[in-house]
């Protein structure tokens, strides 16, 4: 069974601070995805990283895929209250009929004004 562990589990920071969330596994994935989920809603895809060592930026969010494609990180610069939510990483096993996702344990972020 493939497992993805995220750290930290909970994070409460002040607006304007920086933070990093980590996603680690002992397994190799075809790709790794990051989602954000708000209360009462399903997860929304933020980014997909495919190549080992890949770095992607989405405004204040920077995503990195480890060289061995087993781990990833999400860095948020100058956090805003709107960044509050549950951040999930998910490893994808690419198959012809559609990816099967293994989700991490989640990191709950609270950004205080």
Partner 1 sequence: ETGVTQSPTHLIKTRGQQVTLRCSSQSGHNTVSWYQQALGQGPQFIFQYYREEENGRGNFPPRFSGLQFPNYSSELNVNALELDDSALYLCASSPGLAGANGRTDTQYFGPGTRLTVL
Residues in touch with partner 1 (CB under 8 A): 1, 4, 6, 30-31, 33, 40-45, 48, 50, 88, 90, 92, 94-106, 108
Q: Shortest approach of partner 1 to residue 111 CB, angstroms? A: 19
Which residue lies nearer to partner 1 by CB, 68 or 94? 94
Which residue lies nearer to partner 1 by CB, 18 or 51? 51
Nearest C-alpha neighbor of 84 from the set 15, 25, 8, 32: 15
**Local structure of 83: helix, strand or coil:** helix
Question: What is the C-alpha to C-alpha distance for residues 63 and 5, in angstroms, rounded to an integer?
Answer: 16
Q: Shortest approach of partner 1 to residue 44 CB, angstroms? A: 7
What length does the chain have?
A: 113
Q: Shortest approach of partner 1 to residue 97 CB, angstroms? A: 4
Which residue lies nearer to partner 1 by CB, 1 or 14? 1
């Amino acid at each position: 069974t493939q497992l993805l562990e995220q750290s930290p589990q909970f994070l409460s920071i002040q607006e304007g601070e920086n933070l990093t969330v980590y996603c680690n596994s002992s397994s190799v994935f075809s790709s790794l995805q990051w989602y954000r989920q708000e209360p009462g809603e399903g997860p929304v895809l933020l980014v997909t990283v495919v190549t080992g060592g890949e770095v992607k930026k989405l405004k204040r969010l920077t995503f990195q895929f480890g060289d061995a494609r087993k781990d990833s990180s999400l860095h948020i610069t100058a956090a805003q209250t709107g960044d509050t939510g549950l951040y999930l990483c998910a490893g994808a096993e690419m198959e012809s009929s559609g990816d099967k996702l293994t989700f991490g344990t989640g990191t709950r972020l609270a950004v205080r004004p």
